[in-house]
Structure 1
């Protein structure tokens, strides 16, 4: 029986290039624990470290014919583990960035939808209460808040005194404040209209 434990890495690699499974088994036994420790130091996860090392050995077996060894087999294996870990970290980073971006989008779109719904309901309520004002008061209020006309401009256009316009506005605001539930909603009203 041929014992491969006495072979050098170079001899094992040459046998492996020719498809020798025993040479592969010896390389695997020789380096698996060391590569696992190396991978674990880099990613601090036992299962992932095992997966990385397994993938490196599978890749070694699958691509052995194409591998042109520049240095030692140990250098090749350590580099392969490091690259797999870096790819894993990069893939997780991209995945985490995507998940975070998606979560932010969902949160902001829910907030926007909720805001728009509340804004629409509030605007509808405001329009209803403004429409319920006495006609002259409503006209003065709409000219002030919707058309952005000054009290003086409204007074001139409606042929009223400046005091009457101010009184109509004051009364309209009082009524709306009572109907819409407080100064906070009124301040929103004044911004929306």
Structure 2
């Protein structure tokens, strides 16, 4: 079985390749559904929420650019969709509104606005990665961009696995600290 990155699959999706879209759907459906079901407590609504996210992905496939992974964007779209569902259910009197939702702005964020925010945060992350010390930058890129496991990074760089773990922890802490002013939702995906 051949492995394709999200970026490769998305490039095929933008060329109307429904088979590539089906692969992405298969990769992310279960996790997204599980999260939505846990948050909504309703299996049918959870399925609808996830299905609608994928429908919007297909509809806007020409406007969306995937440079690495689709996962952070899908999970953020899921979060906003679940929040909208909970908020709308509470407005209709179908369910109580959790306290955490009171802090969410009422206006709905559109699909493309979410994507633009995500792209902006990705640019900020890339800028901050460039400001990291060389070794930290190298370890971070090998892990996040090339998706190498800790053991492979340690072997490649001739350093201990613990050094790789410490460096990754420091890099992620640094990014989160430097990006505190950015919407916290996005920073969770670092």
* TM, length-normalised to structure 2: 0.46
Which of these two proteins has the greater Rg computed from alpha carbons?
A: 1
Q: Decide which structure has greater helix share.
A: 1
Report which structure shows greater RCO (CA 8 Å, sep ≥6). Answer: 2
